[in-house]
């Protein structure tokens, strides 16, 4: 009798152990998926883009994903992905500190990737610096980053959002212009649309710009780059471009702003679920606004890609 009970107990333990390892619903989270760490926290990663060397990015995984439900070695419900692009003469670490997206990621359960530009710059079209001069394929880099994370089942391909500051904001515009099939919405902070743009489909956009920005002037002006004396276009041109592309009215619907000097207005959603929101910061300089991060996430969360 004892022998029968022992055999039965052993069988139950073996079956339970096998169930845990299979990664079925409620199963065990793998340490990595396609080489990408899945534990909670921020991980420095390298990405082969088919050129000499490699590109780097930080990936923040929130506890809600790491400790959530996994099935077949993937999150049962893949989270949204926010890609945050640093400004010129900055890097991925500074963007992580500047925006505070990690805290929101942990609260709401979305992934955040902070890619590193080429020699602290992004090739946003007619700007900026070494990345533009070297004709670096930053669109290719960011597209591969998106495809790597969504292809591994770690992020939802319908909820990929790109935001950036200054030169990084210009790069967010370029991604929306050239890869609208990968990007559901963009968040632009103190940047300019300085690339040829014919996306073929609309993309939701939230745009912040200070009226006292001297680096990328609100009303246009300045120099696009050290070797390019052409002025930056006014922010109004970008707002008009994205709302006309989607067949939307001018932004008039008031959106709750974080302070008295910020005026935000939205077009409201069009037939394709696309919207454009513009936040004018009276007296705002070339800086990341205090409440821009939670406002961007709320906007992103409300605008997944329709197809």
> Strand pairing of 262-266 and 276-281?
antiparallel
pLDDT (average), residues 194-211:
97
Instruction: Map out the domains of the chain as residue ranges.
Output: 31-301
| Residue 12 clears pLDDT 50, i.e. is over it | no
| Backbone torsions φ then ψ of 143, nearest 5 degrees | -65, -40
Q: Give residues with Cβ within 8 angstroms of 179, minimum separation 6.
A: 139, 142, 143, 146
Q: What percent of the chain has pLDDT over 90?
A: 88
pLDDT (average), residues 204-221:
98
Residue 306 — very low, low, confident or very high, per pLDDT cuts 50/70/90?
A: confident
The reported pTM is: 0.91
pLDDT (average), residues 129-154:
98
- pLDDT score at 26: 52
Instruction: Report d(CA 146, CA 207) in Å as an integer.
Output: 22
| Residue 10 clears pLDDT 50, i.e. is over it | no
| Residue 251 clears pLDDT 50, i.e. is over it | yes
Residue 51 — very low, low, confident or very high, per pLDDT cuts 50/70/90?
A: confident
**DSSP assignment letter at 221:** B
pLDDT (average), residues 22-49:
86
Burial group, residue 35, by CB count within 10 angstroms (0-12, 13-18, 19+): exposed
Report the Cα–Cα distance between both ends of the chain, in Å, rounded: 62
- pLDDT score at 22: 33
| Residue 4 clears pLDDT 90, i.e. is over it | no
pLDDT (average), residues 68-80:
97
Which tokens sit at 279? 């936040």
Angstrom CA distances, 160 to 179, 214, 226, stand at 11, 31, 32
* Helix/strand/coil for 147: helix
Q: Give residues with Cβ within 8 angstroms of 118, minimum separation 6.
A: 130, 131, 134, 136, 138
In the chain, how long is the greatest CA-to-CA distance?
Answer: 91
- pLDDT score at 5: 34
- pLDDT score at 16: 36
Contact between 85 and 191 under an 8 Å Cβ cutoff? The reply is no
Q: Which fold has domain 31-301?
A: Rossmann fold (3.40.50)
pLDDT (average), residues 127-138:
97
Q: What percent of the chain has pLDDT over 70?
A: 91
| Residue 18 clears pLDDT 60, i.e. is over it | no
């Amino acid at each position: 009798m004892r022998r029968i009970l022992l055999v039965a107990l052993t069988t139950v333990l073996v079956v339970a152990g096998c169930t845990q390892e299979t990664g079925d619903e409620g199963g065990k989270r793998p340490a990595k998926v396609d080489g990408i760490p899945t534990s909670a926290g921020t991980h420095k990663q390298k990405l082969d883009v088919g050129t000499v060397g490699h590109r780097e990015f930080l990936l923040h995984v929130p506890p809600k994903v790491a400790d959530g439900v996994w099935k077949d070695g993937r999150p049962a419900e893949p989270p949204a992905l926010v890609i945050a692009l640093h400004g010129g003469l900055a890097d991925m670490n500074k963007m992580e500190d500047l925006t505070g997206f990690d805290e929101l990621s942990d609260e709401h359960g979305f992934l955040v990737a902070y890619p590193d530009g080429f020699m602290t710059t992004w090739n946003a079209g007619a700007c900026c610096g070494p990345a533009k001069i070297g004709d670096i394929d930053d669109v290719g880099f960011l597209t591969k980053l998106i495809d790597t994370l969504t292809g591994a089942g770690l992020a939802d391909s319908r909820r990929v959002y790109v935001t950036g500051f200054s030169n990084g904001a210009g790069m967010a515009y370029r991604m929306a212009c050239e890869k609208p099939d990968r990007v559901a919405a963009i968040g632009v902070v103190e940047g300019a649309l300085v690339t040829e743009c014919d996306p073929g489909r609309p993309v939701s956009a939230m745009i912040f710009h200070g009226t006292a920005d001297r680096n990328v002037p609100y009303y246009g002006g300045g120099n696009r780059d050290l070797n390019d004396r052409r002025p930056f276009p006014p922010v109004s041109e970008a707002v008009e471009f994205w709302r006309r592309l989607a067949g939307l009215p001018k932004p008039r619907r008031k959106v709750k702003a974080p302070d008295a000097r910020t005026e935000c207005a939205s077009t409201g959603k069009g037939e394709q679920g696309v919207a454009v929101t513009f936040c004018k910061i009276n007296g705002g300089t070339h800086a990341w606004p205090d409440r821009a991060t939670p406002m961007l996430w709320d906007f992103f969360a409300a605008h997944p890609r329709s197809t």
